[in-house]
């Protein structure tokens, strides 16, 4: 127990305060998922489905899309890139020639000026071919230098760096540290303004900076050593004191240029501050809101290729006298993969279209798309390996060496697994969404939930709070009988949407009951909150497929009948999952599981580990450590920081 207590001395209070201060104070425009948490199903916000916007028929974009498709099909050997562990120079040169690094850079700064929908379509293509190139371009444009500068940078910074980014100066985003990932209160890198006010002095280390070993320019988050305020800076890797101290390697995405970085008294010009001092985390969160949409789009591309393989393989592989696709077990897998791929694309495309829409706040939909598609994309790759059997587990090179068609399912699975961790792990996405889900309740009941508030303030606020909840809670029940035929124009899809509407009101009630039961302690009830978020994500996915299928049917699309079948199948399966999640809110083993987990943490069950060879490491040996500067490790890359590879 002493060991456990030692590891848990860190106070989470400052972490919550820093995170709360970094949040957007208000919602800017509409939000379908935000309203869903309050029991309001505003289907008109996402329906009709934005088919016209998603068509993306601008000639300049279509030319680029065709060029990227040919490039990926003819010149990109994803397995060779993965095995070699580097980005080939000719591939990077071709990307620069196509101006692929400037997809999201406005045309006035030399970029292609693509919107979210167009960018999403390219990410879908990339994801269908190679996760390494997807990570390279996504990290550069979604979270690297271009996006923060477009949103918050001065005109001087934009003119200086955006044209370079568009021409192919690779960029990255440096926030994570050995002891600070999703917990910004532990950020240790510092940037102190010089006495003459001309520059900041940057010191510290960063971990897992994608593109870091080949980047010319970085966005770096660092805190003021006196005030503790976190700011964002543009840092060039060629400057004295910037060092790549380690090249990180991972299970998948073998060529990922991921670096541990060290900054030793780096002089950062004052004009390289992005936005205002102390707004670094707000800039990071705003960048990630839409920036993380590249992941769900890429996973759609991967799912589409998996579906193609599953369909073709199941039609020619025979067992017990018939094709395996005719066996019920495999047919059910094919049905699930097809319906889920349709839902993934519906959700991802909708989120991209909403990101382009004025007056819409994308933060929850972006988080939901990233989380939901990451989980489903991983599951589809896993099921694909099962359908392929031994050939799925076997490497492509081995398959080809013995004369069979080489399809790298094992690489797909390795690459897909990382999506549940990068740009916000599944757990962090759940916590972020849960916090936004209770935002309105925290605003209304702030005084009552504040243990430091005086009794007189609570008494004074009580009537207004009571009136809000009486009218709101009654409204949740009354809306159920007000318009029972609300979705009848959807025909066969009206049933799934009525389920979404009913479930949204039930979701809001359950969330309210949790607040009443646990008060400010609800934040620690993560199992409860995660189920709430999972329900909301499923309802969003159902609404997305219903809107898409219904809109396609209305305009007479050639795939209308097939889309209706997929939408109905997905909605039915998702509804069963939602019902189970609601059941688990009331009947679960959360309390006993927590106590058991704490006892495991305390070492009471260490006897169960006997009989294995063991790690040979203590808990202290496993503690995170900042990378040491000038360490002789795997930093030898074909391109030094700041050089064109």
Give pLDDT tens digits for 127-150.
Answer: 999 999 999 999 999 999 999 999
Is residue 24 a contact partner of residue 286, using CB atoms and an 8 Å limit?
Answer: yes
pLDDT for res 480 = 76
User: Looking at beta carbons, which pairs linking 189-192 to residues 24 or more positions away fall under 8 Å?
Assistant: 189/220, 189/221, 189/222, 189/223, 189/263, 190/222, 190/223, 190/224, 190/225, 191/220, 191/222, 191/223, 191/224, 191/231, 191/233, 191/268, 192/224, 192/225, 192/226
pLDDT digits (tens, 9 = 90+) for 64-101: 999 999 999 999 999 999 999 999 999 999 999 999 99
Residue 4's contacts (CB-CB under 8 Å, 6 or more residues apart) are: 601, 602, 603
Name every residue whose Cβ is closer than 8 Å to that of residue 191 and which is 6 or more positions away in sequence. 200, 201, 202, 203, 220, 222, 223, 224, 231, 233, 268
Residues 78 and 129: beta-carbon distance below 8 Å: yes
Residue 263 · residue 202 · CB < 8 Å: yes
Report helix, strand or coil for 143: helix
Give the position of tokens 């999403």.
Answer: 120
| d(C-alpha 557, C-alpha 569), whole Å | 19
Q: What is d(CA 96, CA 405) in angstroms, rounded to the nearest whole number? A: 32
Cis peptide before 297 (omega within 30 of 0): no
The overall longest dimension of the chain from CA atoms, in Å, is 83
Chain mean pLDDT for the chain: 92
Contacts of 514 (CB under 8 A, 6+ apart): 522, 525, 528, 529, 532
Alpha carbon distance 540, 367 (integer Å): 12
* Predicted local distance difference test score (pLDDT) of residue 628: 73
Q: Are 88 and 645 in contact (CB under 8 A)?
A: no
What fold characterizes domain 289-436? Butyryl-CoA Dehydrogenase, subunit A; domain 3 (1.20.140)
Strands (E) located in 408-539: none
Cβ neighbours of residue 365 closer than 8 Å, sequence gap 6 or more:
31, 32, 33, 350, 351, 354, 540
Distance of alpha carbon 101 from alpha carbon 141, whole angstroms: 7
What confidence score (pLDDT) does residue 634 get?
45
- Please state which of the ranges 154-163, 260-269, 438-447 shows the lowest mean pLDDT: 438-447
Where exactly does CATH 2.40.110.10 map onto the chain? 76-288
Q: Name residue, tokens 């791929």.
A: 341
The enclosing H or E element of 9 equals none
- Exposure letters 322-356 (e unless 16+ CB within 10 A, then b): eebbeeeebeebbebbbbbbbbbbbbbbbbbbbbb
Tell me which residue has tokens 């909840």. 469
Residue 181 host element (H or E): none
Whether the pLDDT of residue 519 is over 90: the answer is no
pLDDT score for 13: 53
CB of 644 closer than 8 Å to CB of 217: no
| DSSP H or E segment with residue 323 | strand 322-323
pLDDT higher than threshold 70 for residue 18 = no
Do residues 400 and 458 make contact, with C-beta atoms less than 8 angstroms apart? Answer: no
Confidence band for 488, pLDDT divided at 50, 70 and 90 = very high
Contact 351, 543 (CB under 8 A): no
For residue 186, name the pLDDT band (cuts at 50, 70, 90): confident
User: What was the pLDDT predicted at 54?
Assistant: 95
23-32, 143-152, 286-295: least confidently modelled range: 23-32
pLDDT at residue 16 in the model: 53
Give me the active site residues, please. 423
What's the rounded Cα separation, in Å, for the pair 482 and 192?
Answer: 60
Name the band, by pLDDT with cuts 50, 70 and 90, for residue 24: low
From the list 165, 8, 28, the residue with the least C-alpha distance to 102 is 165
Q: Higher-confidence residue: 464 or 181?
A: 464
Residue range(s) occupied by CATH 1.20.140.10 in the chain: 13-47+454-593, 289-436
The pLDDT value given to residue 640:
43
User: Cα(491)–Cα(485) distance, rounded to whole angstroms?
Assistant: 11
DSSP string, 185-234: GG---EEEE-TTSSEEEEEEEEEEEETTTT-SEEEEEEE-TTT--EEEEE
Per-residue pLDDT of 306-342, as tens digits, reads: 999 999 999 999 999 999 999 999 999 999 999 999 9
Contact 198, 245 (CB under 8 A): no
CB 127 within 8 A of CB 300: yes
- Predicted local distance difference test score (pLDDT) of residue 180: 82
> Could you tell me if 622 and 240 are in contact, meaning their C-beta atoms sit under 8 angstroms apart?
no
**Residue 237: pLDDT above 90?**
yes
* CA–CA distance, 245 with 205 (Å, rounded to integer): 9
Nearest-angstrom CA–CA distance, 366 and 293: 6
Average pLDDT over residues 224-240: 97
Exposure b/e, 231-241, CB count within 10 A at least 16 = b: bbbbbbbeeeb
* Confidence at 8, pLDDT banded by 50, 70, 90: very low
pLDDT score, position 105: 97
Assigned CATH for 76-288:
2.40.110.10
pLDDT > 70 in the chain, percent: 93
Distance of CA 625 to the CA centre of its chain: 26
Is pLDDT above 50 for 381? yes
Q: Quick one: pLDDT band at residue 589, thresholds 50, 70, 90? A: very high
From CA 305, how far away is CA 299, in angstroms rounded?
A: 10
* Residue ranges of E strands in 383-482: none
Please state the separation of Cα 48 from the chain's center in Å.
26
Q: Which CATH class is domain 13-47+454-593?
A: mainly alpha
Q: Which residues contact 489 (CB under 8 A, 6 or more apart)?
A: none
Residue that the structure tokens 């073709």 belong to:
312
Model confidence at 402: pLDDT above 60:
yes
């Amino acid at each position: 127990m002493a060991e456990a207590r030692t590891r848990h001395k860190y106070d989470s209070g400052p972490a919550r305060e820093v995170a709360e201060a970094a949040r957007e104070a208000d919602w800017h425009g509409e939000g379908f998922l935000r309203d869903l948490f309050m029991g309001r199903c505003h289907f008109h916000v996402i329906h009709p489905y934005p088919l016209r916007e998603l068509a993306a028929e601008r000639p300049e974009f279509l030319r680029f899309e065709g060029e990227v498709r040919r490039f990926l099909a003819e010149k990109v050997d994803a397995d060779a890139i993965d095995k070699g562990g580097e980005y080939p120079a000719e591939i990077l040169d071709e990307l620069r020639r196509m101006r692929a690094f400037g997809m999201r850079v406005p045309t006035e700064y030399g970029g292609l000026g693509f919107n979210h929908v167009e960018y999403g379509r390219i990410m879908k293509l990339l994801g269908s071919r190679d996760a390494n190139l997807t990570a390279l371009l996504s990290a550069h444009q979604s979270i690297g230098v271009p996006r923060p500068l477009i949103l918050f940078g001065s005109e001087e910074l934009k003119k200086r760096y955006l044209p370079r980014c568009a021409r192919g100066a690779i960029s990255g985003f440096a926030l994570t540290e050995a002891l600070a990932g999703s917990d910004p209160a532990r950020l240790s890198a510092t940037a102190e303004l010089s006495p003459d006010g001309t520059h900041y002095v940057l010191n510290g280390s960063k971990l897992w900076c994608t593109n870091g070993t080949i980047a010319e320019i970085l966005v770096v988050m660092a805190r003021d050593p006196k005030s503790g305020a976190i700011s964002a800076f543009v840092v060039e890797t060629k400057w004295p004191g910037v060092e790549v101290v380690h090249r990180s390697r991972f299970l998948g995405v073998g060529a990922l240029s991921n670096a541990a970085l060290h900054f030793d008294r780096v002089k950062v010009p004052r004009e390289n501050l992005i936005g205002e001092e102390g707004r670094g985390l707000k800039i990071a969160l705003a960048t990630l809101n839409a920036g993380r949409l590249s992941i769900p789009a890429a996973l759609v591309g991967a799912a589409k290729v998996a579906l193609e393989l599953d369909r073709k393989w199941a039609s020619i592989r025979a067992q017990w006298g018939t094709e395996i696709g005719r066996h019920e077990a495999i047919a059910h897998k094919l049905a699930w993969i097809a319906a889920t791929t349709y839902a993934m694309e519906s959700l991802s495309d909708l989120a991209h279209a909403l990101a382009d829409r004025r007056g819409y706040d994308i933060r929850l939909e972006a988080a939901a798309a990233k989380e939901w598609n990451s989980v489903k994309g991983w599951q589809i790759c896993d099921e694909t390996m099962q359908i392929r059997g031994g050939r799925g587990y076997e490497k492509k090179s081995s398959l080809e060496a013995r004369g069979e068609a080489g399809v790298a399912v094992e690489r797909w699975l390795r690459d897909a697994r990382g999506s549940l961790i990068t740009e916000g792990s599944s757990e962090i996405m759940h916590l972020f969404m849960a916090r936004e889900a209770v935002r309105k309740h925290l605003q209304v009941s702030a005084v009552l939930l504040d243990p430091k508030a005086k009794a007189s303030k609570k008494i004074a606020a009580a009537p207004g709070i009571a009136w809000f909840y009486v009218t709101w809670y009654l409204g949740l029940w009354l809306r159920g009988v007000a318009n029972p035929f609300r979705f009848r124009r959807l025909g066969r899809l009206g049933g799934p949407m009525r389920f979404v509407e009913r479930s949204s009101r039930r979701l809001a009630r359950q969330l309210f009951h949790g607040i009443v039961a646990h008060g400010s302690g609800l934040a620690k009830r993560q199992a409860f909150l995660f189920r709430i978020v999972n329900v909301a994500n499923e309802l969003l996915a159902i609404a997305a497929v219903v809107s898409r299928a219904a809109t396609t049917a209305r305009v007479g699309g050639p795939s209308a009948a097939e889309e209706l079948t997929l939408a109905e199948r997905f909605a039915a399966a998702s509804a069963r999952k939602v019902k189970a999640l609601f059941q688990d809110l009331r009947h679960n083993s959360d309390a006993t599981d927590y106590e058991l987990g704490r006892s495991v943490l305390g070492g009471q069950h260490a006897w169960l580990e006997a009989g294995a060879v063991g790690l040979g490491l203590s808990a202290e040996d496993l503690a995170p450590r900042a990378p040491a500067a000038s360490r002789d490790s795997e930093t030898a890359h074909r391109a030094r920081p700041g050089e064109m590879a």
